[in-house]
Amino acid sequence: MKIGHYLFVLFSLLFVLSTSAQNGTIDSLLKISETAKEDTSRLNALIEISNICEEADIKLYSEKAYKLSQKLLSNPDKKIKELAKRRMADACNNIGFAFQTEGEITSAINYYKKSLEVRKEIGDNYGIGESLNNIGYLLEQKGNIPDALENYHESLKHYELAKNKRGMAYALNNIGFIYQKQGDHSKALEYYLKSKKLREEANDKHGISQSLTNIAAIYKLQKNYKEALKTHLQSLEIQKEINDKSGISNSYNNIGFLYENDNDLTNALLYYQKSLEIREELGEKKGTANSLNNIGRLYLLKNDMKKALDCASRSHALSTSLGFPENIRNSSKLLASIYKKQGKYKESTEMLELFFKMHDSLNNESIRKNTAKQQLQYEFGKKAIADSVKHAESEKVKDAQIQLQEGQIKSDRNKRWGLFGGLFLVIVFAVFMYNRVKITQRQKKIIEVQKEIVVEKQKEIVDSINYAKRIQYTLLAHQDLLKQHLPEYFIMFQPKDIVSGDFYWATQKEDMFFLAVCDSTGHGVPGAFMSLLNISFMNEAITEKNILEPNKIFDYVRERLIESVSKDGAQDGMEGILICFDKKNNSITYASSQNVPVLVRNKEIIKLQADKMPIGKGILSDPFKLYAIDAQKDDMLYLYTDGFADQFGGPKGKKFKYNQLNSMLIEQATLQPDEQKEMITSTFGKWKGGMEQVDDVCIIGIRL
């Protein structure tokens, strides 16, 4: 659960006015922005309006201010030019904040960077600190901890140069929060207390409430729940006093967690729902996702699966659209638990894999090392400045030090004796260290031997899997057989691991040519074993049992799978498509389990049918239906598994999805098959980017 951590955006936004007074101020400023003769007065009014207006209107007035500041940059008066630059930086900062509240993180960062460039140009240390702090916060939310920490430290330096206590407090607070996330609670508390002290000196009530919230979070992590609740209530009191709705929603959320921890689910749900209501009212997408996840978790504990799934799904969809790893991690973990309880093991496994992926990206060792490194760099920078000051002061007292030299000569004689004694201790210590080195070397040799054993065993395992890959590939459809029956086609086959649960298989029986594209349960070694079993059962149905209708072949394979692997209730099997090209009757028939064949004609998709049940033990056990394809010359027929559509990637880490996959196939259907394969492979690689491949991928395209 995310504990209170607010972005410091604008100084003026920290002062919350009463509704009537604020509306009156905005009306007055609007009048100035519309009727003032001087452009500078209109510009100042627009910026002030964007500082105090509703969040929905910030972008509107800030963009007007930005355009007006651009116009004033051509003014020959230097003072007007400088004002225009300052206000342009303010406008970019406010636009960035507006995009941030909408969940458009990339656009928000871009505008914060624009603001930073202008502020560096005019030497505005306070503004530079503000922009760096804002960028750092969003980088942190996206999981880029090292760069976020670097921005926070740079922000702190510029706030110190500007002698601005409020800014220094926010930077210290954000650095403390990163230490909290990395598990260094004592360091986090140190920074939180520094931040709170500065805020008390500046009489910053908003900041004080934030510091109290974060200090309470540390108490919670230390399992001091009584102190945590007391501190949260102190923070809530201040937030109500200044009408800080965002802070109030955060405190409600935190108090709800403490009640949940005390197993008081009724009060916990009450406070979570209060928090959600305010966050939805404010349009805080990230906070809304967090509250939905917490409420979903409580419904799971209450065994209300319908409400739990509804809340968790909404939280996951919102988290994925925002692209924040922490929210995705939390929602995927909850969905994995819900699916497991519902018996949906495939969906549960997918969510669990996503959870571990997001968890690892937030907690890897390199992040911890970078955190320590940034701290040392910052402390060293401060020490270097202090040392330079000391050096300047030492020059002033140089003469006085000369007078002390005579006294030091006398003390040197005593030091010599101490030196001899110290030398003796060094020799003793050196002997001790030599023995330790010898012992360490022996231990190192033992470790190296053990490492060699592990490497050798790993090599044996990998060699065995590679051998299994060769066996599996010999059972896949042979290229010569495919070329004999399919003049124009392509195959894009990309397993997640060395061996695959996806497979494509073909055989000929009399005047009939059969082609299957299937997805076995699982991937890697378990999936490969299932694929071999599925291939053998299809081959058995056609060659031995002389079953030639695709639907009846699937019925037979399902029966054999249930007999072989589902005696204990397991639901292992496969999904896929089996096509039969009957050359004698010039017809194409098929059976389909879950996966839908796609026919593209004249840049349009012809909708084909599929049975929504697996080949194996499942809820439905109806006979599979036989479908026919009314093909025309130059139609493109595509058979694929779910691996491509389910791949996470792109700018927001979302799934590729079937609609986007089908649109891609439509666009390239007129190209030669080899060109289509190249484009599909390239698109998959670009979409996946640096993310892990989540499943096996298999796509076959056939020109009819």
pLDDT in tens, 284-335: 888 999 999 999 999 999 999 999 999 999 999 998 888 878 889 999 999 9
In this prediction, residue 454 carries a pLDDT of 59
Tell me if 218 sits within 8 A of 206, measured CB to CB.
Answer: no
Q: What is the mean pLDDT of residues 221-236?
A: 88
Three-state DSSP at 71 gives helix
Report d(CA 191, CA 550) in Å as an integer: 68
**Which value, in Å, is the radius of gyration of the alpha carbons in the chain?**
34
Q: Which two tokens stand for residue 207?
A: 């900041």
Q: What is the mean pLDDT of residues 271-288?
A: 91
Tell me how far apart the terminal alpha carbons of the chain are, to the nearest angstrom.
Answer: 55
Q: Which two tokens stand for residue 700?
A: 């076959």
Strand-strand pairing, 573-582 and 587-593: antiparallel
Region for residue 144 given its phi and psi (left: phi exceeds 0; alpha: psi -120 to 50; beta: otherwise): beta
Report d(CA 112, CA 135) in Å as an integer: 6
In this prediction, residue 185 carries a pLDDT of 87
Name the pLDDT band for 370 (thresholds 50, 70, 90): low
Question: What's the angle, vertex CA 215, arms to CA 214 and CA 216, rounded to 5?
Answer: 90
Element (H, E) at 227: helix 225-241
Tell me if 17 sits within 8 A of 29, measured CB to CB.
Answer: no
Tell me the CB-side half-sphere exposure of residue 186, using CA atoms within 13 A: 0
Q: Is the confidence at residue 548, as pLDDT, over 90?
A: yes
In this prediction, residue 471 carries a pLDDT of 63
| 413-432 pLDDT tens trace | 555 555 555 556 666 656 66
Question: What's the angle, vertex CA 235, arms to CA 229 and CA 238, rounded to 5?
Answer: 145
Quickly tell me which residue has 């670097």 as its tokens: 150
Three-state DSSP at 604 gives strand
Tell me the C-alpha to C-alpha distance, in Å, between residue 249 and each of 246, 271, 282: 5, 9, 10
| Of 59-68, 225-234, 454-463, 588-597, the least confident | 454-463
Residue with the larger pLDDT of the pair 486 and 440: 486
Tell me the C-alpha to C-alpha distance, in Å, between residue 327 and each of 186, 343, 354, 371: 25, 24, 12, 22
Report d(CA 406, CA 244) in Å as an integer: 67
Tell me if 148 sits within 8 A of 136, measured CB to CB.
Answer: yes
Tell me if 540 sits within 8 A of 514, measured CB to CB.
Answer: no
Three-state DSSP at 310 gives helix
Name the pLDDT band for 386 (thresholds 50, 70, 90): very low
Report d(CA 638, CA 242) in Å as an integer: 61
Going by C-alpha positions, the residue among 82, 72, 85, 73 that lies closest to residue 38 is 72
Q: Is the confidence at residue 225, as pLDDT, over 70?
A: yes
**Buried b vs exposed e over 492-514: b needs ≥16 C-beta within 10 Å?**
bbbbbeebbbbbbbbbeeeebbb
In this prediction, residue 14 carries a pLDDT of 33
Report d(CA 329, CA 307) in Å as an integer: 20
Quickly tell me which residue has 């093909």 as its tokens: 631
Percentage of the chain exceeding pLDDT 90:
37
> How many other β-carbons are positioned within 10 Å of the β-carbon of residue 30?
15
Report d(CA 475, CA 526) in Å as an integer: 17
| Of 187-201, 524-538, 591-605, the least confident | 524-538
Report d(CA 106, CA 88) in Å as an integer: 20
Dihedrals φ, ψ of 102, to 5°? -85, -5
Averaged pLDDT score across all residues of the chain: 82
Q: Which two tokens stand for residue 541?
A: 């149905």
Name the pLDDT band for 8 (thresholds 50, 70, 90): very low
Name the pLDDT band for 21 (thresholds 50, 70, 90): very low
Name the pLDDT band for 566 (thresholds 50, 70, 90): low
In this prediction, residue 387 carries a pLDDT of 40
Residues 6+ apart with CB under 8 A from 361: 143, 325
Q: What is the mean pLDDT of residues 657-681?
A: 93
In this prediction, residue 310 carries a pLDDT of 94
| 207-224 pLDDT tens trace | 899 899 999 889 888 888
Q: What is the mean pLDDT of residues 497-508?
A: 88
In this prediction, residue 388 carries a pLDDT of 39
Tell me the C-alpha to C-alpha distance, in Å, between residue 492 and each of 499, 557, 645, 684: 15, 25, 14, 10
Amino acid identity of 570?
A
Q: Which two tokens stand for residue 317?
A: 């969809």
Quickly tell me which residue has 């880490």 as its tokens: 653
Residue with the larger pLDDT of the pair 577 and 181: 577
Strand-strand pairing, 615-616 and 604-606: unpaired
Residue with the larger pLDDT of the pair 467 and 12: 467
Dihedrals φ, ψ of 517, to 5°? -125, 115
Report d(CA 348, CA 354) in Å as an integer: 10
| Of 417-421, 438-442, 522-526, the least confident | 417-421
In this prediction, residue 325 carries a pLDDT of 83
Three-state DSSP at 601 gives strand
Name the pLDDT band for 616 (thresholds 50, 70, 90): confident
Report d(CA 311, CA 294) in Å as an integer: 9
Q: Which two tokens stand for residue 52?
A: 């105090």
Report d(CA 270, CA 265) in Å as an integer: 8
| Of 108-122, 196-210, 416-430, the least confident | 416-430
| 447-499 pLDDT tens trace | 665 556 556 656 666 665 665 566 666 678 888 889 889 989 999 999 888 88
Maximum mean pLDDT: which of 6-15, 89-98, 340-349, 452-461: 89-98
Q: Is the confidence at residue 653, as pLDDT, over 60?
A: yes
Burial of residue 45 (number of CB atoms within 10 Å: 0-12, 13-18, 19+): buried
In this prediction, residue 679 carries a pLDDT of 93
Q: What is the mean pLDDT of residues 500-514?
A: 91
